[in-house]
A and B are shown apart, each in its own frame.
Chain A
């Protein structure tokens, strides 16, 4: 739990690095696996989730003295689904193609544990500033993790980056088709999480010694 001594910036950085929702907490794996096949999808998905977590933390934090403990989950869910609906309709209106590619995964942000956990752990017991710092940290961390997976999968699987070709045309027959498919998501994310764990373990050992 965030104690008073931790600065808001530390709270933000926690979400991006030490407490990264995808790579460390292993939350939000479903979109991280399903829509990380291109960088564009990853960024839009990350943006939508960031919007939702920020707004949900904002509302929850402002209402924290009014919310009775036994109905808090209900309130969280209603708040989150409101903003998910807004995000979904916005994407359909302004980014129709991407929205179609993301399919049901934008509405599914409602059930993303990553977002409700921020309301439960931080927003319900902290002030507005702290809650927003936390939400931005988690949002940026989520977007970054998705983007890393997205970059790897898009370059290897499609030979493009943000839909611009980055590999020579001769590479065409050598594209790693597996990277566009679900196994590519599992392999990429698994290897990245493995590397993150390795680095964290090494840091912990180094810190203790």
Chain B
């Protein structure tokens, strides 16, 4: 905790000390919370563990290997970027690349080639993060950029959805066998798996999409520890629910209800782990609400009307692009009112 890299968080020693006569005045944050980038990142890694365990249960050892390969791709790219920029390799240890790699891995289909996973991780760090200046400077969520790259690059491999290897007794399901999309939206309604099955993880999907329960467990831990802000989470889920409800109300035959969409696909995983990204989301509280609503609404619009079965990646990237605008219109009033200038 004491080894926070300068400038990355309030935990480290104040980077700029200005000597003014006899007094030392340091730059702004004077109260340290004792939290470093490293601490936060490893909290996220810990929170991702239920998902890793769940995906290993459903897809076997391959899930762990896939995660290892994406993380390795991220770390190698980070090391190369540091070397090119002549920086210390300290950022390898802060865990941010590990988190990017894990989130990327959990958004990939289980049967993906390992070398593609490495490429995804390397692209995520090099093109989405290092090029913009490293941690905290990226405009877009690196893991989602990595996934978008793989999606456009290897559309065939990215569309292969394995079925979970383990089917629990009594969990319903004639339904599991046919539906192997990220979200079973295009399947006939009568073959739709039960909500409970989708919640626990009986429907094929990306590693992190499969079990909404595991995502919920890890996500709640993050929110309760105060690592992740609850506003984008609630905003995302609420935004999605509203759109899903309206669609279902307007055409119940065509569109599934909000409950289905809550547990299908990457909704839980994305709301807790992707929409709460510190860098790509607005910093103002009101802005985070807007960001969340926007993500949730866009996910549903893409799911219901788009060509792709799942829309979390594009929703996050679009809202990342909106973030500067959202921040501009949600500047909070400072205590005592705005400063009036003539």
Contact = CB atoms under 8 A, between A and B. Distances in A.
Interface in B145-188: 149, 152-157
A173 interface: yes
Interface residues of B, number: 12
A174 B118 CA distance: 14
Q: Residue among B116, B127, B131, B154 with the most chain A CB within 10 A?
A: B154
Contact of B152 (A173, A181, A194): A181
A178 B113 contact: no
Nearest to B151: A178
Interface in A166-182: 173-174, 176-179, 181
Interface string B99-134: 000000000000001001000000000010001000
Q: How large is the interface on A (under 10, 10 to 19, 20 to 34, 35 or more residues)?
A: 10 to 19
A177 B156 CA distance: 10
A103 interface: no
A38 to B, nearest CB: 18
B157 A173 contact: yes
Nearest to A176: B153
B328 to A, nearest CB: 27
A181 B154 CA distance: 12
A187 B152 contact: no
Contacts of B127: 187
Contact of A178 (B84, B131, B152, B157): B152
Contacts of B113: 174
Q: Residue among B127, B152, B153, B154 with the most chain A CB within 10 A?
A: B153
A194 B157 CA distance: 30
Majority SS at the chain B contact face: helix
Contacts of A173: 156-157
Contact of A177 (B84, B116, B131, B153): B153
A165 interface: no
A104 interface: no
Contacts of B149: 178
A174 B116 CA distance: 9
Contact of B155 (A174, A177, A183, A194): A177
Contacts of B153: 176-179
Interface in B243-263: none
A184 to B, nearest CB: 8
A207 to B, nearest CB: 19
A139 B331 CA distance: 51
Contacts of A176: 153-154
Nearest to B123: A187
Contact of B154 (A177, A187, A194): A177
Nearest to B126: A191
Interface in A86-107: none
Contacts of B157: 173
Q: Residue among B84, B113, B127, B152 with the most chain A CB within 10 A?
A: B152
A173 B153 CA distance: 11
Interface in A156-209: 173-174, 176-179, 181, 183, 187, 194, 198
Contacts of B84: 198
Contacts of B152: 177-178, 181, 183
Contacts of B155: 177
Contacts of A194: 131
Contacts of B116: 174
A183 B127 CA distance: 12
A163 to B, nearest CB: 22
A177 B155 CA distance: 8
B109 to A, nearest CB: 14
A173 B158 CA distance: 12
Contacts of A179: 153
Contacts of A198: 84
Interface in B181-199: none
Contacts of A174: 113, 116, 154
Nearest to B152: A178
A173 B115 CA distance: 13
B139 to A, nearest CB: 15
A199 to B, nearest CB: 12
A178 B152 CA distance: 5
B120 to A, nearest CB: 12
Contacts of A187: 127
B172 to A, nearest CB: 35
B204 to A, nearest CB: 20
A187 B113 CA distance: 22
9 contacts: A173-B156, A174-B113, A174-B154, A177-B152, A177-B153, A177-B154, A178-B149, A183-B152, A194-B131
Given A176-B153, A177-B152, 5 more contacts: A174-B154, A177-B153, A177-B154, A178-B152, A198-B84
Interface of A: 173-174, 176-179, 181, 183, 187, 194, 198
Instruction: Please name the 5 residue pairs, one residue from A and one from B, whose CB atoms are nearest each other, closest first.
Output: A178-B153, A178-B152, A176-B153, A177-B153, A183-B152
